[in-house]
Amino acid sequence: MKPMRQIILDTETTGLYPKNGDRLIEFAGLELVNRQMSGNNLHLYVHPERDIPAEAMAVHGISLEQLESEPIFAKVGQQIADFLKGAELIIHNAKFDVGFLDMEFQRMGLPTIDELDCTVTDTLAMARANYPGQKASLDALCNRLGVDRSKRMLHGALIDCELLAEVYLAMTRGQYSLVDSLTAETEEQRSAQTLSRPQHLKVIAATEQELDEHKAYLDVLDNAVGGVCAWRADV
């Protein structure tokens, strides 16, 4: 089975609008292989070739002076594209980061995120589905899931990736632990499951209420994975 490669991704920028001249100034990607940190990470600061407004500096604390010796995106874009190619990207508020990366790639004539065969999982959408009516910011999720964010004084791509990795693993731990237990079965266990059922065992059919409760639980799983969960295949 091919290893599952995921990248926890975050960026910092000069502003909010990639189509209006804002540029990327920091990129961070932490690689997970089969839900374990691989150590194959990429963290870069990038000179934006423009000014950084005071309101943006107030968010991430990065000044233009700090970036004077850093490369422009044209020097590192191919490295970022190669790192991301074919991976599932785990991003909080994915539309923002994907929009900036696509803009920067297109300026260089490089493939977009979609063209790099990446899939995108938005943990903001996951959180809104899992915790309807509740705050879904990264800080709020850290508080809800018991993730220590004491080192996070400002927004920064690297620290945000580290926090998001813990949040994502916590939000999906129940589903994946069940998947792992199923896929870890040996052939011997599978064979044992095919043995005919003793005739004296009584099969009790589920009640309508139990079926409705089961369907509601599957709906929650569907929302969490952004599609149809594995356990709905036979429903």
Length of the chain (residues): 235
What tokens does 180 get?
């792992």
Angle, CA 153 vertex, CA 47 and CA 102 arms, to 5°? 35
Alpha helix (H) residue ranges in 85-137: 94-108, 123-130
Supply the Cα-derived Rg of the chain in whole angstroms: 22
Q: How far apart are CA 99 and CA 104, in angstroms?
A: 9
Q: Is 43 designated active site? A: no
Asked whether the beta carbons of 19 and 103 are under 8 A apart, the reply is yes
Kindly name the residue from 43, 47, 92, 155 that is annotated as catalytic.
Answer: 155
End-to-end, the C-alpha distance of the chain in Å comes to 26
Nearest Cα to 119, choosing from 73, 85, 147, 142? 85
Provide the annotated active-site residues: 155
